[in-house]
């Protein structure tokens, strides 16, 4: 599992506000290029973000679904990118102080052809992207303070 962490310079509520805004998904998730729709009630379990991934005109249209949600603490997602596969992503938040939130993100490929890649190779591909994803999340959360 590719795991990354970052101390975000924003209160936990500001970080959660970004995660709970499905329309902001393309602003912090590396690779997501366009949000087509967000199910009402996002981020309740079973709701989805309908997104496009990749550069135009080579975009893939797919969805990301909430598997588990503990508001203000944890969000677990099933992110699809067919025909490549799908990944399980878990984001956890922990307040370090009133103004700093520790964000941990774990991702593992669970379905599709990319699940056949050895774990070390998956980590090699996912870790740099996920570090940038957390840096973008940090910027958006700081902008809400």
β-sheet with 101-111: strand ranges across: 2-8, 101-111, 85-95, 74-81, 60-70, 48-53, 32-38
Give the domain range for residue 109: 2-143
pTM for the model: 0.94
Low-confidence ranges of the chain (pLDDT < 50): none
Q: What's the pLDDT score for residue 145?
A: 66
Please check whether residue 143 is in contact with residue 10, taking contact to mean a CB–CB distance below 8 angstroms.
Answer: no
How many folded domains does the chain comprise? 1
Tens-digit pLDDT profile for residues 16-34 = 999 999 999 999 999 999 9
- Identify the CATH number of the domain in which residue 24 sits: 3.30.530.20
């Amino acid at each position: 599992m590719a795991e990354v962490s970052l101390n975000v310079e924003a209160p936990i509520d500001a970080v959660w506000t970004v995660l709970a805004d499905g329309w902001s998904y393309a602003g912090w998730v590396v690779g997501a290029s366009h949000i087509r729709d967000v199910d009402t009630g996002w981020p309740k379990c079973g709701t989805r973000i309908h997104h496009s991934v990749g550069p135009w005109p080579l975009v893939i249209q797919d969805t990301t679904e909430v598997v588990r949600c503990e508001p203000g603490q944890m969000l677990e997602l099933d992110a699809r990118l067919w025909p490549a596969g799908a990944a399980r992503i878990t984001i956890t938040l922990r307040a370090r102080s009133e103004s700093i939130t520790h964000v941990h993100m774990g991702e593992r490929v669970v379905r599709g052809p990319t699940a056949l890649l050895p774990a070390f190779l998956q980590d090699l591909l996912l870790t740099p992207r996920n570090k940038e994803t957390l840096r973008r999340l940090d910027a958006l959360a700081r902008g809400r303070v």
